Structures are given as C-alpha cells and as structure tokens.
Amino acid sequence: MQLALVSFDIAWEDVPRNLRRAREQLSRARDLGATLAVLPEMFATGFSMNASRIAEPPDGPIQEFLSEAAASLGIGILAGVATHADPSRRPVNEAILTTPGGERSRYEKLHPFSLAKEHEHYAGGSGVVTWNVDGIRVTPLVCYDLRFPEPFRVAAPDTDLYVVIANWPDRRRAHWQTLLRARAIENVAYVAGVNRVGDGDGHHYSGDSALISPWGETIVSAAEDETILVANVDPARVSETRARFPFLSDVRPGCYRRGTAPDH
C-alpha cells in the first residue's frame, strides 16, 4: 500500500473552504502514487464542540464529498467527520473509510476528550474495529484514543497498521510524538499519525504527522507546514518483525490485575 498522510490548515467551521482545500490535497496525493489517503480528525470543520451545527447525517455533504473524491480519484480515503445518525444519542466523532467503489466503513472515537468537554457534546464509541484495505489490516483511532494503550493491544493480533487521525495541539506535541512511537514498538506494527497544522479556536497545531515502523523507527514525518507524506506499508514487514521478536506471544492478560501480597 502507498499511504499518503495529508496534513493541512483547517479553516474553522468553514466546510466549503475545507472541502476545496482537501480536494486539492487528495488530487496531489493520487498523483504522488497513493492508494490510501488519510485526512485529519474533523477535517472539514476543525475540532469544534458546536455539534448541533457541524454534525451531519450519514449521507451529509462532507461524506458525499468523500465518496465523490474517492470514486473520481480512484483512491481510498480515511477521514474524520462529526456525524449524527441516531436522534436518541449525541453525535459521534468518527473516522470514516471511503473506497473508490462507494463503500463506507465507520469507527466511532472511543474516548471523548473530557479536558475539552467533548464528552458533553459527542458520545463515545463502543468498540475497536479493523478494516482490510488492499490486503492491509488497518485499525483506525482518533486523537485522544492515542493516550490509551488498551484498544491498541486488543487489536494488535489482527493489525498491520494503526491510523490515528487528530487535532492535537502544539503544547502537547512531545506526547503525540512519543506515544506514536510507543504504540508502534509495543504492538510491533506500523503507526500512522495524521494531525492538522495551523491555528484554530485559540490553539496552534504543529502537525508532526508521521509513519512509524513496526520497530519504532520514523519512516517519514513533517511539522508546521501543509504537507503530503507518501510511504509504503508492507504487511510482510510486520510479520517478519513479529516472527523475529515475538513479544506479543508473551503477553499475559490474565495476570494484569492488582494482586494481594503473600503472607510471610
């Protein structure tokens, strides 16, 4: 798979402007040879808590844009969108995979960012998902999910590539960089982090989008400027690294609980 990490400056809650910019970037990604292009979390609006304004139904204009772009460019697109499909619950912050053939797959962000009161505006998802994309087992996660190792470990046996889409502010960039590498190392898999750049809602975003190898090495990365990073993801590299260093076979989930010290 030729993976494109598309990091751009998101105009705050300006959907038409962001869709035009995303279309330009996706066209460039296709021209660079990408077969799957990844856009940041809430790529068309920014990380807005104005859910009543920005969350759209399952066939809203942002998702229709993704379908049109995937079909006309002939590439898969993974992007973040705020959606509201169920009137009985709050909207959700989703990662949506759109294929050139028009299929859509969805992942709901498990961990709303309580520090920004996201949990008051968006419902949390209920489980981890993994998609088969051109023979690559892809597990999507969204921003704050990166701070929680549990969903990564649950998905590890069936994952070649984790994709984390984000609006992660500059003031916590060291955490972003460190956790991307940690998740790759501890799960012996590729980790792609796709973050926005620029300014929005009082925050600065430095990007720091990157693809990390199953051994924890940075394959490509970029910060501050709008950029498209293209790199190859090879599932054989995951298999070979895991066979040579079978760390995951030593996991003992039944032991990971607080015990009682023995009497002496």
- Could you list the beta-strand ranges (E) of the chain: 2-7, 36-38, 76-83, 92-98, 104-108, 131-133, 136-142, 161-166, 190-195, 197-200, 203-206, 209-212, 218-222, 227-232
Whether 179 maps to a domain, the answer reads: yes
First to last CA, the chain: 57
Count up the domains in the chain and report the number. 1
Residue-range definition of the domain harbouring residue 122:
2-251
Distance, in Å, from the CA atom of 176 to the CA atom of 173, rounded to the nearest integer, reads: 5
Contact partners, residue 84, CB within 8 Å, separation at least 6 = 51, 55, 56, 57, 90, 91, 92
Whether 196 maps to a domain, the answer reads: yes
Contact in structure between 117 and 138 (CB atoms under 8 Å): no
Distance, in Å, from the CA atom of 234 to the CA atom of 228, rounded to the nearest integer, reads: 19
Active site (catalytic) residues: 41, 109, 143
Whether 261 maps to a domain, the answer reads: no
Whether 258 maps to a domain, the answer reads: no
Long-range contacts at 241-249 (CB < 8 A, ≥ 24 apart): 241/188, 241/214, 241/215, 242/188, 242/214, 245/188, 247/186, 247/188, 248/156, 248/157, 248/187, 248/188
- pLDDT score of 262: 61
Q: What is the pLDDT of residues 98-142, one digit of tens each?
A: 999 999 999 999 999 999 999 999 999 999 999 999 999 999 999
260: number of Cβ within 10 Å: 5
Distance, in Å, from the CA atom of 65 to the CA atom of 264, rounded to the nearest integer, reads: 67
Chain centre distance of CA 93: 11
CATH number at residue 146: 3.60.110.10
- pLDDT score of 263: 59
Helix/strand/coil percent split, the chain, to 5: 35, 30, 35
Whether 264 maps to a domain, the answer reads: no
- pLDDT score of 88: 93
Whether 66 maps to a domain, the answer reads: yes
- pLDDT score of 47: 98
Distance, in Å, from the CA atom of 106 to the CA atom of 127, rounded to the nearest integer, reads: 11
Whether 262 maps to a domain, the answer reads: no
Q: Which residues of the chain have pLDDT under 50?
A: none
- pLDDT score of 52: 94
